[in-house]
Each structure stands twice: as C-alpha cells, then as structure tokens.
Structure 1
Amino acid sequence: MEKPIFIIPVILLVAVILFVNVVFLHPAKENKTATPAKTEKTASTFDPVAFYKQTCIGCHGDQYQGVVGPTLKNLSSKYKQADVENILKNGKGGVMPAGLVKDEDIPAMAKWVLSLK
C-alpha cells in the first residue's frame, strides 16, 4: 500500500515540471526567434492580395463585388490615393473599421485597391 502513495507525488512532481517546461520555457525561446523576422518586414514585403483574402474578403467579396461593404471595383474613378488611405486608416461610416491595415502598409494597400477594375 505504500508504493501507490509514494508514486502519486512523484507523478505529480513530474507533471508539474513538464507543465512549467512546456508553458513557460518553450514559448519564450520561440518568441525570441520570431521577433527579428517581424522587425525585418518592410512595406515592400506587404502583400495586399494576401491581406485582402485574410481580412477584407468577408465584407467586399471574393471578386471585389461588395457584400456587406461596397464594391472595390473602379474606385479610381471616385477616389484618389489620399482618400483611400484616409478610409483605410480612419474607417468610414461606422461600417468600415479603422486600423485594419498597419500604417506602414496603407499606401501599398490603397494603391492596390485603386488598381482594381
């Protein structure tokens, strides 16, 4: 009967050590390696198409036709680059949220949106 009583605390101790190792030690190592890659990203590596597919497609549609949000086709006849940049930064009409695109990526995103036909 003494063996099970001795084994339970040992198993619990091993479980706690593994938990601390996995939760507190490994993510810190991963974050240290991920940080330099984020700081190296420049506006030239921003991919407006990939960003659109990940963030905007739900409101503006898979063919830019508009769903909840308006169509993005032929916006160049209606808006200038600065107008689109302002909308991307500040939102519009309570429907288009502000701040979806990082400030450094706004010019590239605006240029791409204006190129849609």
Structure 2
Amino acid sequence: MQKWIMSGLFFVACALAIALMFTLPGKEEVAHEEKPSMPEVTMDAAAADAMVKASCISCHGDQLQGGAGPALDQVGGHMDVEAIYKIVSNGKGIMPAFKGQLTDEEIANIALYLADHK
C-alpha cells in the first residue's frame, strides 16, 4: 500500500515539475520585468518637485525627512538613479507602484531629482 502512495506522490510531483517548466517565465522575461529600462530624459527640477510634493510627501514627509516611509532627503547618496527608478515604478514593501499612475518619463524625472539629493 505504501508503495502505491509513494508512486502516486512521485507521479504528481513529476507532473507538477513538468507543468512548471513550461509555464514559468524564463530568465530573460524575469530580468526584463524586474528591471524596467529608464527612458532618457533631461531633469526638470520644478516639475519633479511638484510631482514629489503631490505624490510623496504624505509618506516621506514635506522635506523628505521620512515619516511612514523612509527618508529621501539623502537617498542619492546610497542609491543610484536606476534603483530609484525601479522602486518608484514597481513599488517596494508597502510603497505602491507608480507605473500606471505616472508616465515613464515622469518617473525618470523624479528618479533623477531624488538621485540629486545626496
């Protein structure tokens, strides 16, 4: 009886492994999803400041000193612009993703603006 149970479990595990091999995304797809490519933009500090004040100060503070979210007043000192772009685009932890709310160019402008805060 135990042999039948073990054989059945082995068969189910093999079938599940085969199904996952064909349905999970490949390395290239995952890399493309995880690292959105930042568009080339020239920083418009006034526009970025307005967007940050409209979208970020409720969690990060009016001077970006932190609050419900971490302090961003010196974020450029320990994160590069690509990392900031990725977090603003996709969100992280309790921070929501802004990918659908802002354009890629607006997110890139905010990332450049925040990367200047060192």
- Interval of TM-score (by shorter of Structure 1 and Structure 2): 0.5 to 0.7
Q: Which has the higher helix share?
A: 1
Q: Identify the residue that residue 81 of structure 1 maps to in structure 2.
A: 81
Higher relative contact order (CA 8 A, sep 6+): 2
TM-score, with normalisation over the residues of structure 1?
0.56
Q: CA deviation at 1:106?
A: 1.5
Q: Identify the residue that residue 110 of structure 1 maps to in structure 2.
A: 111
Count of matched residue positions in the alignment of Structure 1 and Structure 2 = 75
Aligned structure 1 segments of 4 or more residues deviating by more than 6 angstroms: 42-46
Flag structure 2 segments of 5+ consecutive residues without an equivalent: 1-40
TM-score, with normalisation over the residues of structure 2?
0.56
Determine what percentage of the aligned residue pairs are the same residue: 36
In structure 2, the CA distance between the partners of 1:74 and 1:88, relative to structure 1 (3 Å rule), is same
Flag structure 1 segments of 5+ consecutive residues without an equivalent: 1-41
Q: CA RMSD in A?
A: 2.2
In structure 2, the CA distance between the partners of 1:44 and 1:72, relative to structure 1 (3 Å rule), is closer
Aligned pairs for 1:94-109 within 5 A: 95-99=94-98, 100-109=101-110
Q: CA deviation at 1:65?
A: 0.4
